[in-house]
Amino acid sequence: MKIEVIVFGMIADIIGKQKIEVNNCSDTTSLQIKLTHDYPKLCQQKFVMAVYKKVITGNTNLNNGDVVAILPPFAGG
C-alpha cells in the first residue's frame, strides 16, 4: 500500500524533498509515527495533515494511493 506525501516549508527542509512515497501506513497516525521515526527532527515541528486536500483533526484511515499533505505554519512576511 502506497501513500503519496506532499510536504511544505520546514517539513520539506527536513525531509529534503517535496514529495515522498510511504508504504504500509493504514492511517494518518501510523504515517506520522513512521515519518517521525525516519526524520526525527519532525518531532520538533508543528504541522497539520490534510487527506485529499481536507485538513484533518483526528486519526484518519488511509487507502492505497491516497495523497496526504503535511502543512506547517509559516511565520515569515
Q: Are 71 and 32 in contact (CB under 8 A)?
A: no
Of 23 and 77, the one with the shorter C-beta distance to another protein is 77
Site for another protein in 4-63 (CB under 8 A): 6, 8-10, 12-13, 18, 44-46, 48, 50, 53-55, 57
Residue 25, amino acid: C
* Length of the chain counted residue by residue: 77
Chain contacts with another protein (rule: CB under 8 A): 6, 8-10, 12-13, 18, 44-46, 48, 50, 53-55, 57, 69, 71, 73-77
